[in-house]
Amino acid sequence: MAYKNLREFMEVLEDQGDLIRIKDEVNPSYEVAAYVRKSSDVEGPAILFEKVQGTNMKVLGGLFGAKRRVLQSLELDEKNLLTNYLKKEGTVIMPRNVDKAPSQEIVLTGNDIDLYSLPQIIHFEKDAGPYITGGIQIAKSRRTGKRNAGMYRMLILDKNHLTVYAPPGRHLRIIIEQNLEENEPTDVATAIGTDPVIPLASQTRKAFGYDEIEIAGGLRGAPVEMVGCKTINVDVPATAEIVIEGRTVPGREAEDGPFGEYPGTYSDVKKTPVVEVTAITMRKDPIYQFCMTGTPMTENHHMMELPLAALAYEEAYKICPDVVDVVLTPGGTSRHHAVVSIKKRHDYEPRNVILALLAANIGIKYVVVVDHDIDIRNQTDVEWAINTRMQAQDDVLILPTMYSPTLDPSAPMHRSSSKMGIDATAPLGRLDEFSKVKTPGTDTVDLSKYWSP
Ligand SMILES: Cc1cc2nc3c(=O)[nH]c(=O)nc-3n(C[C@H](O)[C@H](O)[C@H](O)COP(=O)(O)O)c2cc1C
């Protein structure tokens, strides 16, 4: 059964011991982020900070800092995860509009708007300032009427202005640019602290025009309740803890960055659109959620991993219906490095799988294809396949720099990457010759009778 809102999910987690409260006063500069970092490093609990300097709001961090909480919010488990996830993701459920919403219990407009009343979380030592990292930005294209929801960080500039970091190619940026061609601003609502499925749905990589709120309905198995904003023409999740309503200022940009990013390195400084806030609405006693990123694994990686791996699986499946499994490895930032196992039917089929994945709208820069007998969740097994079934001069594809919707610090140009694929499969029909040696009885003898670790 779908979680009604963030609070219901938090209660369940707290009962399970998977959410803790820190009641001591903490500093929003680094300290809250440090606690969340430390917890996600050991796949620990989500943390609710009850007393954060400079704000009356409680602060939630690390909600998705362990993969189990992503699975719990989607009501999935590891068994057949990618195919079960894809079934849910492919079932669209339209949202339902309501007139009255908890997210509008308090409405602040005009001089009452003050972004500094929100927790001023600074995540990394070289960050440009306090960023909002747990917001889901919702906007509509005036031209097509299509809605988009994605997560884009925001740097607080002053009481009522912030940047929105949606680089070229991102769907929000496409909407902003389409509207700009008609010299029109874009209404942008930022929902913070929604039911847990909505931020996950915002990470799906569908083509421009798909509505992530409808996808969220499918993923949670029930419509998302939406309410019209008070000052802009956008609907937002009715149970959100906080909503920042605003409008881009045509022609106005400001610098974003540096910011500690998901590859685990800093982004550089770039110009990005500015949003002027028209209202802040919230629940009484709202919970402010932020999302931790940085060197993998963090909640940012856990949130991206499943939709991206599922998309990679779909792309591989189009080439090879006998794709067994796909992993986007943690060291590859859950995004840049894919390992795929297949039952190949043609000697060169792995090359097509490699190209499909490198071209997919994910940003993969390195693909390894192995046979179905390899456990791709076991790094040693994958390396073993590379070392016993691959000859570099025949089995490595290297592509020149291509567009890549990722942050690759080693790339010569922003949002680009040179790419590589390795076919580590055995020649067709000769897998037996390349199989692992076996000692009969290893599976059945009972060593525990004599020794336990
Ligand atoms: C916590 C978190 C923060 C993110 N911040 C940004 C960001 O600042 N800019 C960005 O382009 N993508 C960011 N992303 C990734 C996008 O939200 C994601 O790729 C989304 O699918 C983009 O939506 P779009 O394809 O509709 O543009 C973030 C993801 C997460 C989980």
State the CATH number of the domain containing residue 425: 3.40.1670.10
pLDDT at 74 over 90: yes
For the chain, what is the domain count? 1
Amino acid identity, residue 90?
G
The answer to whether residue 388 sits within a structural domain is yes
What pLDDT, on the 0 to 100 scale, is given for residue 143? 83
* Closest ligand 1 atom to Cα of 361: 25
Q: What is the DSSP letter of 122?
A: B
Q: What is the distance between the alpha carbons of residues 62 and 35, in angstroms, rounded to a whole number?
A: 9
Per-residue pLDDT reduced to its tens digit, 92-130 = 999 999 999 999 999 999 999 999 999 999 999 999 999
pLDDT band for 144, please (50, 70, 90 cuts): confident
Identify the sign of the CA torsion 74, 77, 82, 84.
negative
The answer to whether residue 282 sits within a structural domain is no
What pLDDT, on the 0 to 100 scale, is given for residue 347? 97
Indicate left, alpha or beta for 110 from its phi (over 0: left) and psi (-120 to 50: alpha). Answer: left
Q: Which residue of 170, 205, 214 sits with most ligand 1 atoms within 8 Å of its CB, as the best mutation to test the pocket?
A: 170
Q: What is the DSSP letter of 224?
A: P
Q: What is the DSSP string of 298-317?
A: SHHHHHHHHHHHHHHHHHHH
Per-residue pLDDT reduced to its tens digit, 326-342 = 999 999 999 999 999 99
Tokens of 298: 């963090």
Q: What is the distance between the alpha carbons of residues 18 and 2, in angstroms, rounded to a whole number?
A: 18
* Closest ligand 1 atom to Cα of 150: 23
pLDDT at 141 over 90: no
The answer to whether residue 326 sits within a structural domain is yes
What pLDDT, on the 0 to 100 scale, is given for residue 142? 85
**306 within ligand 1 shell (Cβ under 6 A):** no
* Closest ligand 1 atom to Cα of 149: 26
> Are 368 and 334 within 8 A, CB to CB?
no
What pLDDT, on the 0 to 100 scale, is given for residue 71? 98
Per-residue pLDDT reduced to its tens digit, 11-30 = 999 999 999 999 999 999 99
pLDDT band for 406, please (50, 70, 90 cuts): confident
Tokens of 382: 């994958």
pLDDT at 9 over 90: yes
Tokens of 277: 């806030």
Q: Is 219 helix (H, G, I), strand (E, B) or coil?
A: helix
Closest C-alpha residue for ligand 1 atom 18: 203
Top pLDDT among 65 and 408 is at 65
The answer to whether residue 25 sits within a structural domain is no
Q: What is the distance between the alpha carbons of residues 86 and 204, in angstroms, rounded to a whole number?
A: 10
pLDDT band for 414, please (50, 70, 90 cuts): confident
Closest Cα partner for 73 from 13, 132, 17, 151? 13
The answer to whether residue 12 sits within a structural domain is no
The mean pLDDT of 172-189, rounded to a whole number, is: 94
The answer to whether residue 174 sits within a structural domain is no
> Are 289 and 62 within 8 A, CB to CB?
no
Lookup result for tokens 């996830």: 85
Identify the sign of the CA torsion 90, 94, 100, 103.
positive
Q: What is the distance between the alpha carbons of residues 180 and 248, in angstroms, rounded to a whole number?
A: 10
The average confidence (pLDDT) of the chain is 97
pLDDT at 405 over 90: no
Count of all residues that appear for the chain in the document: 453
* Closest ligand 1 atom to Cα of 304: 31
What pLDDT, on the 0 to 100 scale, is given for residue 32? 98
The answer to whether residue 170 sits within a structural domain is no
**171 within ligand 1 shell (Cβ under 6 A):** yes
Note down the domain range covering 355. 299-431
Count CA within 13 A, CB hemisphere, residue 356. Answer: 19
The answer to whether residue 343 sits within a structural domain is yes
Per-residue pLDDT reduced to its tens digit, 237-250 = 999 999 999 999 99
Q: What is the distance between the alpha carbons of residues 349 and 337, in angstroms, rounded to a whole number?
A: 19
Q: What is the distance between the alpha carbons of residues 211 and 292, in angstroms, rounded to a whole number?
A: 25
Instruction: State the distance from the centre of ligand 1 to the C-alpha of 425, rounded, in angstroms.
Output: 34
Q: What percent of the chain has pLDDT over 90?
A: 96
- Is ipTM over 0.90? yes
Q: What is the DSSP letter of 277?
A: E
> Are 108 and 280 within 8 A, CB to CB?
yes
**165 within ligand 1 shell (Cβ under 6 A):** yes
What pLDDT, on the 0 to 100 scale, is given for residue 412? 87
